[in-house]
Amino acid sequence: MESELIDLEKKFQHHYSLVRKHSHYLWDFYFGNNGLDNETIDVTSFWVREDLEKMYRIACVYMETLGLNEFLKEFKTKYSEIVLNISEATKIECYPLYDGDTEEEMYLIHEWQNFLSPFKLFKIDKKEDELIKLHQILENTNEILKITNTVVKNEHSINKTIRNFLDLYYGNVVQYSESLFRHKFKSYQPDVILSDEGISIEYKLIRTEKDIGIKLDELLIDANRYVGNHRNKSCIAVFCLSKKITTTKKQIKEDWRKMMFPKSWSFIVISDVEINC
């Protein structure tokens, strides 16, 4: 039973990390960033609720495995309907702190952290926490480009700005070098590499609808042929969509999922990027 519980804990923590990774848009929406587009909020709310439901179901199985029937019954009574309601599930509220200040937290996360406090479900390691922070930075690419007055002409324009920006935080950002990889890629040349963390980042500028499928196909070929040094453990692909793109981020992410990229790869989509050529 112990191994089963550990497996459930890992699955719960995985979906919790996804909620943390993607829900920052909801914080921006609730607390004053009026520049967010409706699609971003809708897509974020959809996937955050999906992961919250998975957390809920895993927690139910966890308590059932432990034989805590009354505990499980109370949990279901309190949260079974809320987790299915997208507006209720993704609601954010302010909570008082001991020093008289307040902090904002997603209602369900706050509730579950209290309800499930006897268990190890909410434990998250430092590396995972840093990866979440990195994703949050990359998801704000458009804002970074704007505040740095970056003129976007090609992928190099974006890579250079993001590389310099991340270097301020990590201090170990390097450019792509063929010596880092034993395989020569067709199109994947990550120009942002966090050497100590073992993470490479590749930006793709999507100018037209046709580019979406082409870039996804190219990345999948390279992902399946990927051979790097042992330190490069994960890759992040970031699609920057021009203002001409009408395909939704939700649809692009669904296409990505259907293509079954390796688990070491993750995907971020940024919309409404101003391209100057």
Collapsed DSSP state (helix, strand, coil) of residue 272: strand
Which of 55, 6, 60, 52 lies closest to 26, judged by CA?
A: 52
Which tokens sit at 40? 């971003």
CATH numeric code, 126-273: 3.40.1350
Mean pLDDT of all residues in 120-143: 79
Which tokens sit at 96? 């008082």
Q: What is the pLDDT of residue 73?
A: 93
Element (H, E) at 226: none
Which tokens sit at 181? 């990889």
Q: What is the pLDDT of residues 49-85, one digit of tens each?
A: 999 999 999 999 999 999 999 989 999 999 999 999 9
Q: Please report, for the chain, the start and end positions of each structural domain, with discontinuous segments joined by +.
A: 2-115, 126-273
The pTM (predicted TM-score) of the whole model is 0.59
Mean pLDDT of all residues in 215-244: 77
81-90, 129-138, 266-275: range with lowest mean pLDDT: 129-138
**Does position 215 have pLDDT exceeding 80, yes or no?**
yes
Q: What is the pLDDT of residue 187?
A: 46
